[in-house]
A and B are shown apart, each in its own frame.
Chain A
Amino acid sequence: MRPFTYERPTSLAEAFRILEAHGAAASILAGGTDLIIRLRDGTVRPEVVVDLKAIKERDDGLHERDGRLVIGGWAVMTDIAADARVRRDFTALAEAAQVVGSAQIRNRATLAGNICNASPAADTAPALLVYGAEVVATGSGGTRRVPIDDFFVGPGRTALGAGEIVTSIELPLPPGRRGGVHLRRTRRRGHDLASVTLACAVMDDGRARLAYGSVGPRPLLVTDESGVLADSTAPAEARDRLLDRLLGAASPSPKSMRASPAYRLAMLRVLALRAADIAARRVAGGAAA
């Protein structure tokens, strides 16, 4: 690894001072499961690594507040996947967090880090999109909320400003009964990056939200107000036409080694229908969200 210095600020104010002093030469360290790989392969070459884990305002828990589930910016995947409220009200997010990396990775990796790295294949991104998450970004100038759909810009690029830190991610509690699911396609069972990663949420009136990643530069959100996507008894041609529209923006990279564009597009259709059917069954069962 190329040498760098290590800073461990104990307050947000101190962190902002360090980040401002070093600008683009500073890298933020949360869980480190992506950053340390990039430090080692040289794709990130900071002069200073700023470890956020000693900050006194650090929130690594999950709380309900004002009709929202607030996921602290320091919460790790293990805790998000195990949280009873996430499993009940945001099932797709619990399922997505549960398949990120391995147990070892999930014990370190934060949800905030996952979205800040903005990998097109980030498994938690589709779930956050279907649940209408808001990213709470804090900088020396104050705090602002960014809808998750505006947060993702491109591969590795987000709407986060220089010197801003994601201090929490907030999810509005479900307005009614809802079924949700996360599905993905990987090369091997167990620990792998997704060739297609997808989440679907269906309301009890049949409206559906579908989001998919790893098939273009950023994860995409689409909605179906007609109820056809979530209706397994709808004519196959109607669902096919709907999928043509919903999945039309997918543009998998031909350069990725994980899967060919044709394979990804074929699996995207399969997973979209499968997810809609599972989510619809779950809302009918009334058990999960």
Chain B
Amino acid sequence: MTATVPIRCTVNGRPRELVVVAHHTLLDALRDDLGLTGTKECCLVGECGACTVILNGRSVDSCLVLAAEADGGTILTVEGLAVDGRLSALQQAFLDTGAAQCGFCIPGQLLAAHALLALTPHPDRAEVEEGLAGNLCRCAGYEQIIEAVLRAADEPAGGARAVEQPMVRQTTSDPAATPDASVAPQ
């Protein structure tokens, strides 16, 4: 019999209770159990970043996290970036610069950039390159992606505004959490 684990977590602001298969990843749970297929499955070895989500305020490759590890956690996926049908400033910047070509890597790029701007609201180009080094784009749209992140960070209130919604909250009950209060936008 397949072992299962009951978990509770908050996904894009919504509390969820799930029974996940012990050997399934957070990526599996998001896509197959919750139907959040914006998070992409690609290399499955943590090299391409297409499955990037934010777990407890930090970007992670969801293919390298067991679903059971997300118990008690707070998760942000690409579906949670827009609020009330309005794109986040970061998403808008991606659109404006033509950063999305085939689009497959874009959810991961957005979440990696979101995490970067939460920590470093005004990154220079080198910091953007390093922050997105774990996200590959087979269309090689890197210039437009970097430009989009820099443009979002250049907004009047800086990158903090670009990622102001939704808040990424820490939970204290999460054993998998790596607390870092500085990640929460001020």
Chain A residues near B (Cβ < 8 Å): 1-6, 8, 29, 32-33, 36-37, 39-40, 49, 51, 53-54, 58, 60, 76, 78-79, 101-105, 107-108, 189-191
Contact = CB atoms under 8 A, between A and B. Distances in A.
20 contacts: A3-B2, A4-B23, A5-B22, A6-B23, A6-B68, A8-B68, A32-B65, A32-B66, A32-B69, A36-B63, A49-B22, A53-B175, A54-B175, A103-B59, A103-B134, A104-B61, A104-B134, A107-B58, A108-B65, A190-B133
Contact of B59 (A32, A36, A104): A104
Nearest to B116: A103
Q: Give the contact-size bracket for chain B.
A: 35 or more
A33 B46 contact: yes
Contacts, number: 106
5 A-B pairs with least C-beta separation? A102-B134, A54-B175, A190-B133, A6-B22, A107-B58
Given A36-B66, A60-B178, A104 B112 contact: yes
B60 interface: yes
Interface in B33-55: 44-47, 49, 52
Nearest to A75: B178
B5 interface: yes
Interface string B61-94: 1011110110100000000000000000000000
B3 A3 contact: yes
B167 interface: no
B28 to A, nearest CB: 9
Contact of A102 (B5, B23, B133): B133
Contact of A191 (B5, B58, B64, B134): B134
B130 A103 contact: yes
A104 to B, nearest CB: 5
Interface of B: 2-3, 5, 21-25, 44-47, 49, 52, 58-61, 63-66, 68-69, 71, 112, 115-116, 129-131, 133-135, 175-176, 178, 180
Nearest to B65: A32
Q: Interface majority SS on A: helix, strand, loop or mixed?
A: loop
B76 to A, nearest CB: 13
B47 A191 contact: yes
A36 B64 contact: yes
Contacts of A107: 58-60, 178
A89 B22 CA distance: 41
Contact of A76 (B47, B71, B130, B178): B178
Contacts of A60: 178
